[in-house]
Amino acid sequence: MCGVVGYVGTKLSRSFVMKGLSRLEYRGYDSAGFACLDSVSNRLMCVKAKGQLVNLTNALEESPVDGHIGIGHTRWSTHGVVSHVNAHPHVDCTETISVVHNGIIENHTQLRVQLESEGHCFRSQTDTEVVAHLFEQITKNSSLPESIAAIARQLEGAFAFSCIGEPFSDAVIAVRKGSPLCIGMGSQEMFVASDVLAFAGMTDEVVYLPDETFAIVRQSGVELYDFNGNKRELKSERVQVSWSDDGKNGYEHFMLKEIFEQKNGIHATLSYLKSIHDTVWQQMGMAADDVKKLGAISLIGAGTSWHAARIGQFFIEEICKMPARVVLASEFRYMPFFKEERNFYLAISQSGETADTLECLRLVERTGAHTVVLTNVPSSSMVRESNGFLLTKAGQEISVASTKAFSTQLAALFWLANRIALEKGMITVDQMERACDHLLMSAEILENCIEKYRKSIVDQLAPYYAQFKKWIFLGRHISYPFALEASLKLKEISYAFAQCYPAGELKHGPIALVSDDTPIIIFSTLDPLIYQKLISNAQEVKARQGHLLIFAFEGQTELLKLADNAFIIPHVDPLLGPLAMTGLMQFFVYQIANVLGCPIDKPRNLAKSVTVE
């Protein structure tokens, strides 16, 4: 999940590399670095800094190296602590070859032992450094494509790296296996990056490196090879993303801005889905007849997207009256796989790059089963590698903690469940339209509730609740996966310890944790039966003097009477209860983290796009 960028061209590289890195900082912000071949001496120069990109900017002001060929990196640590020495780029013994890398080289220990026995000296604890030393060793004896192919064949794992060096001073080398890497084709200049966003707006043409290939990128052109050293045809596409630079727009954090962008995001997602009403199966790579015969859907996701999938499961089962199975991407890949008929696999991913989810898609695809991705990023690897796709229109999400991606995923899943039911003849066109109206109503409520409670959260509730270090989150039925999402949000941005349980499980053990230093949040539902059960669960807490904060719906007085504090949400379609509560829940945890002074947009240890397993 590190960010890799490179440049070769008539201009000096540093300005692009730094701009590209700032766009890719969502991939990691433990440290950053820049290396170039000096424009006068052609010697390799390298500057690195621990911490966020701004530290590298400052370091480069003191050592303003630059050249027409350069690479840069923003790191999310996998191997080796966060430190200056472990920051990329890494160099070989002669300090003439430099590498930036995203992914994991799984056999780095064996390679390191072998290289050390041959006399190479390592400086860092990273897996990446072996690549620099391999380049040092091999390029002495064979042609550049042969050398690179031989290096690539030795490396195990999923990786994307970029390399420059004095022995091949007119080129940036770009090598890809598993992890994404692309090349922006400019006029007399070429860009290399982990994500097309890095050079969006600077060129219209992009080459997504096919898996297990490498490119020798020169100012005048690009040569593509497979790992056997055979030349491959270069296929370019138009760049389809743009970089929006409207900043925080007056908000203190991107997360807050994005919380308030949700209503528009849901509107935009729904307009897009309505616009593909008639062609949706084609876009999902399916025939209408297959949809009519569908017997089940499997949903795959990680983190927040997994929570969206779990809520989506209720949509599919309740609206389409067929089973939906939800799998957690990081687990599914290593479980036995049973191919089912009349089923398809829907991967849900904001970024479309999450390695756990992408690897599941690849696994499913190898079995011949049908794959579809629901993502916010049309240019993502998942869109390119699955049989079909659907988009959310949340707009660029910058804050690491997902907000508008989640609510637009819920909106898209709700629409999809209704669209499948319509195709199967289970609902009418009128009912489909009403479902869309319910979605828009929920989006309205999502925003209005924040406004309603804004002042009391900011002035009283967040300062009060910020003192607690431990929390219990409870939900039941459709509000359980929502409670999981709420507890994840609190953990990510405030670092408070939050444990989430299905409310009915409380009495089976976690009730031992009920105490006055651990607030318990209950998320209610609009299902009358589940609501009654939740009242009993709330009573179990109160009987032990627990502190209850309740998210309930209007009229749920019996439950509300048990609350120490409460948020009351207007009625919506029962399946859309979680969506209606989303904004308020996010705003509440955001304000707690803000009181605590946490770095909300870039929480410690996290990265936005998790492209390693």
Enumerate binding residues for ligand M6R (CB under 6 A).
302-305, 349-351, 354, 357, 400-402, 492, 606, 609-610
Q: Which of 198, 609, 195 is nearest to 405 (CA)?
A: 609
Q: Report how far residue 260's alpha carbon sits from residue 587's, in angstroms, rounded to the nearest whole number.
A: 9
Location of structure tokens 């916010």 = 376
Q: What is the smallest separation between the CB atom of 376 and ligand M6R, expressed in angstroms?
A: 8
Q: What is the smallest separation between the CB atom of 315 and ligand M6R, expressed in angstroms?
A: 18
Location of structure tokens 């990265």 = 607
Our CB check for ligand M6R shows the closer of 165 and 265 to be 265
Q: Report how far residue 224's alpha carbon sits from residue 236's, in angstroms, rounded to the nearest whole number.
A: 12
Q: What is the smallest separation between the CB atom of 280 and ligand M6R, expressed in angstroms?
A: 21
Our CB check for ligand M6R shows the closer of 129 and 601 to be 601
Q: How many helices (H) and strands (E) does the chain have?
A: 20, 25
Is 561 considered catalytic here?
Answer: no
Our CB check for ligand M6R shows the closer of 124 and 351 to be 351
Our CB check for ligand M6R shows the closer of 7 and 29 to be 29
**CA torsion, points 392, 279, 325, 493, in degrees to nearest 10?**
0
Q: What is the smallest separation between the CB atom of 302 and ligand M6R, expressed in angstroms?
A: 4
Beta bridge partners of 158: 104
Our CB check for ligand M6R shows the closer of 355 and 560 to be 355
Q: Tokens standing for 16? A: 């692009």
Q: Report how far residue 240's alpha carbon sits from residue 225's, in angstroms, rounded to the nearest whole number.
A: 25
Check if the beta carbon of residue 577 is closer than 8 Å to that of residue 525.
yes
Q: Which residue is nearest to ligand M6R (CB)?
A: 303
Location of structure tokens 């109206």 = 437
Location of structure tokens 């766009």 = 23
Sequence-separated (6 or more) residues with CB below 8 Å from residue 84: 31, 48, 49, 50
Choice among 2, 163, 182, 500 that is catalytic: 2
Our CB check for ligand M6R shows the closer of 149 and 446 to be 446
Gyration radius of the chain's alpha carbons = 26
Our CB check for ligand M6R shows the closer of 89 and 352 to be 352
Q: Which of 383, 366, 374 is nearest to 349 (CA)?
A: 374
Choice among 48, 50, 602, 608 that is catalytic: 608
Our CB check for ligand M6R shows the closer of 17 and 401 to be 401
Per DSSP, the three-state class of 172 is strand
Q: Report how far residue 217's alpha carbon sits from residue 293's, in angstroms, rounded to the nearest whole number.
A: 48
Q: What is the largest CA-CA distance in the chain?
A: 80
Is 2 considered catalytic here?
Answer: yes
Q: What is the smallest separation between the CB atom of 403 and ligand M6R, expressed in angstroms?
A: 8
Q: What is the smallest separation between the CB atom of 264 and ligand M6R, expressed in angstroms?
A: 20
Q: Tokens standing for 536? A: 């009993």
Strands 296-301 and 324-328 turn out to be parallel
What is the enclosing helix (H) or strand (E) of 422?
helix 404-423
Q: What is the smallest separation between the CB atom of 371 and ligand M6R, expressed in angstroms?
A: 15
Q: What is the smallest separation between the CB atom of 396 and ligand M6R, expressed in angstroms?
A: 13
Strands 565-569 and 548-553 turn out to be parallel
Q: Tokens standing for 475? A: 């939900």
HEC sequence for 265-333: HHHHHHHHHHHCCCCHHHHCCCCHHHHHHCCEEEEEECHHHHHHHHHHHHHHHHHCCCCEEEEEHHHHC
Among positive and negative, which fits the CA dihedral 338, 341, 343, 346? positive
Q: What is the smallest separation between the CB atom of 490 and ligand M6R, expressed in angstroms?
A: 11
Our CB check for ligand M6R shows the closer of 98 and 351 to be 351
Point out the residues that are catalytic. 2, 608
